[in-house]
């Protein structure tokens, strides 16, 4: 079995988005523009309401998918097609924006911790104008497996230890795992060969990824291979392991529109202004 290793390490940059929500942008910044099919990864984490209270008022998306994984806090989602949903701790929303939606994501709390991730996953050219689709996944639908002593994994997408994540029918056949490792724990995780992947440590101090220490708030881009060796650090740690099939298609990107050509971007802007979302 060939092992995946870390080929690059990236730390997020501090930025803000929406109406002024402070966050760390890890993918989608100069240090790592994209990791096909992943266009963006943000971690938002603050227990100061000033950092999140303004939320993400109505804004458009076209041509890709947004995946929100909440760790703490409560946001309410709503779009212009009448879809509503609550993002509560441990829940996942996999939104296929397709040809376009206008939506908002607004905090439902005035204090306390708000923590989670948003990942943008590209759509293949043939699916960019598909009908919008939501997969709102409550925490209890996410299988929890223990593939080795001291290892607990929430399987959000993909397969592990006989469990299949609830996210279905996604073109890039994604793997999205939330892995908790106790000190001394170790296991090998099979990942589809050819998938581009990364790990990101978000709790604890560090973990061993492909035999190398990855610090908290550090993203490791993975080489190709059949499996990834993971081991705990000196303290309990938690990390995302995410992988997806690369699309190898041209990317034309303008804010919340991600298409294949500049002409399609102009079309998106025209459609948005004309109220065709
Ligand atoms: Fe959004």
Find the domain containing 245 and state its range: 6-273
Residue 268 lies in a domain: yes
pLDDT at 236: 98
Helix (H) or strand (E) holding 257: strand 257-259
Cα of 235 from ligand 1 centre, angstroms: 35
Residue 76 lies in a domain: yes
Q: Which two tokens stand for residue 27?
A: 């993918």
pLDDT at 232: 97
Cα of 142 from ligand 1 centre, angstroms: 23
pLDDT at 143: 98
Q: What percent of the chain is helix, strand and coil (3-state, nearest 5)?
A: 10, 55, 40
Place of tokens 């390490």: 9
pLDDT at 251: 98
- CATH number of the domain at 85, please: 2.60.120.10
Residue 36 lies in a domain: yes
Residue 150 lies in a domain: yes
Residues of the chain with pLDDT under 50: none
Cα of 243 from ligand 1 centre, angstroms: 21
How far is the C-alpha of 233 from the C-alpha of 216, rounded, in Å? 10
Total structural domains in the chain? 1
pLDDT at 164: 98
Contact partners, residue 210, CB within 8 Å, separation at least 6: 3, 4, 5, 6, 220, 222, 223, 228, 229
Which of 189, 61, 194, 184 lies closest to 118, judged by CA?
61
Residue 147 lies in a domain: yes
> 83 with 131: CB under 8 angstroms?
no
pLDDT at 191: 98
pLDDT at 256: 96
pLDDT at 259: 98
Give CA 31 to chain center in angstroms.
18
pLDDT at 172: 98
Cα of 66 from ligand 1 centre, angstroms: 7
Residue 1 lies in a domain: no
Cα of 101 from ligand 1 centre, angstroms: 9
Cα of 80 from ligand 1 centre, angstroms: 12
How far is the C-alpha of 1 from the C-alpha of 201, rounded, in Å? 24
DSSP, collapsed to helix, strand or coil, labels residue 259 as strand
Cα of 103 from ligand 1 centre, angstroms: 6
Cα of 237 from ligand 1 centre, angstroms: 29
Q: What DSSP character marks residue 127?
A: G
**pLDDT tens readout for residues 106-147:** 999 999 999 999 999 999 999 999 999 999 999 999 999 999
Cα of 60 from ligand 1 centre, angstroms: 7
pLDDT at 38: 98
How far is the C-alpha of 49 from the C-alpha of 225, rounded, in Å? 42
173 backbone φψ class: left, alpha, beta (φ>0; ψ -120 to 50): left
Residue 89 lies in a domain: yes
């Amino acid at each position: 079995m060939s092992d995946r290793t870390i080929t690059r390490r990236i730390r997020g940059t501090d930025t803000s988005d929406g109406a002024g929500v402070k966050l760390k942008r890890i993918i989608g910044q100069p240090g790592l523009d994209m990791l096909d099919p992943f266009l963006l990864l943000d971690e938002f984490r603050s227990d100061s309401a000033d950092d999140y209270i303004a939320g993400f008022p109505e804004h458009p998306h076209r041509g890709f998918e947004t995946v929100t994984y909440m760790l703490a806090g409560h946001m309410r989602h709503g779009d212009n097609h009448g879809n509503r949903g609550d993002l509560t701790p441990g829940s996942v929303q996999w939104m296929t924006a397709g040809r376009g939606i206008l939506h908002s994501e607004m905090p439902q709390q005035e204090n306390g911790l708000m923590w989670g991730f948003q990942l943008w996953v590209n759509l293949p050219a043939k699916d960019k104008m598909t009908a919008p689709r939501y997969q709102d996944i409550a925490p209890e639908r996410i299988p929890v497996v223990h593939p080795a002593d001291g290892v607990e994994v929430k399987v959000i997408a993909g397969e592990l230890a006989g469990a299949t994540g609830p996210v279905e029918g996604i073109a890039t056949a994604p793997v999205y795992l939330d892995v908790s490792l106790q000190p001394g724990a170790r296991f090998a995780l099979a990942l589809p060969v050819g998938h581009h992947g990364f790990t990101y440590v978000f709790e604890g101090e560090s973990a061993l990824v492909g035999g190398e220490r990855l610090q908290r708030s550090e993203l490791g881009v993975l080489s190709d291979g059949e499996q990834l060796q993971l081991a705990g650090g000196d303290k309990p740690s938690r990390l995302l392991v995410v992988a997806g099939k690369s699309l190898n298609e041209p990317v034309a990107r303008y804010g919340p529109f991600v298409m294949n050509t500049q002409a399609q971007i102009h079309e998106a802007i025209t459609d948005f202004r004309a109220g065709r979302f």
